[in-house]
Amino acid sequence: MEVQEALIKRRSIRQFKQERLERSDLESIANAGRLAPNASNMQPLHFIMIDKPSVTKGITGNIVWAKYLNDWNPPTDKLPVAYILILVDTRITNTNYGYDVGMAAENIMISAMGFGIGSCCIASINRKEIARILKIPKRYVVTLMIALGYPAEEPLITDAKHSITYYRDEKGTLHVPKRKGTIHSIPHNLEE
């Protein structure tokens, strides 16, 4: 898939086919995170690949899915089949790692698209419980979780003229409003 096509077509996927990912694909996707740009080349991030069904189940229960869809959870036959958790090693840095995490997450999601794999980046997670399940030592900060699997839904972009709240229509299709008018030339017309 062309880079431009992947960037434009990527949507957060929250319903997945129950087909296991090739371990080598998952490793390539995690590796794309490892190679992402990062401040001062300090590389404070670690990536935990999770694809054992007994473990993914425990992770899924510690996630807040799609907050605008009030109490919506992926149906049990459409759960993520894998996750990548991004950790920060506080022995390397304890500050300003948010940019690094964001860039690694986007690399992971775009790399996944190259394999036809859908993803959703998730910040609303029970970090304490996930650290316990995965036996993460205290020196690592648990940051973003990225859910992965072959897509079982096809969200659509709409114009965010009236609201940025994503919603499902009567057929169950997710509509994701995106703001227009956020790209500017100089002189710009940004309001004070």
Ligand X SMILES: Cc1cc2nc3c(=O)[nH]c(=O)nc-3n(C[C@H](O)[C@H](O)[C@H](O)COP(=O)(O)O)c2cc1C
Tokens of 158: 């709409």
Burial class of 105 by CB neighbour count within 10 A (0 to 12, 13 to 18, 19+): buried
Least CB distance to ligand X at residue 176 (A): 4
C-beta closer to ligand X: residue 23 or 175: 175
Q: Which of 34, 41, 128 is nearest to 86 (CA)?
A: 34
C-beta closer to ligand X: residue 138 or 161: 161
Tokens of 61: 């229960």
C-beta closer to ligand X: residue 138 or 179: 179
Number of residue whose CB is nearest ligand X: 124
Positions in the binding site for ligand X (CB under 6 A) = 11-12, 14, 64-66, 120-124, 155, 166, 176
Least CB distance to ligand X at residue 23 (A): 25
C-beta closer to ligand X: residue 23 or 156: 156
Least CB distance to ligand X at residue 186 (A): 27
**Torsion over CA of 160, 166, 168 and 173, rounded to 10 degrees?**
70
Least CB distance to ligand X at residue 189 (A): 25
C-beta closer to ligand X: residue 19 or 154: 154
DSSP of 62-123, one letter per residue?
TB---GGGSS----GGG--SEEEEEEEETTT-SSS-HHHHHHHHHHHHHHHHHTT-EEEEE-
Please list, in sequence order, all residues whose beta carbon lies within 8 angstroms of the beta carbon of residue 22, skipping any fewer than 6 positions away.
Answer: none
Please give the single-letter amino acid code of residue 101.
V
Least CB distance to ligand X at residue 81 (A): 17
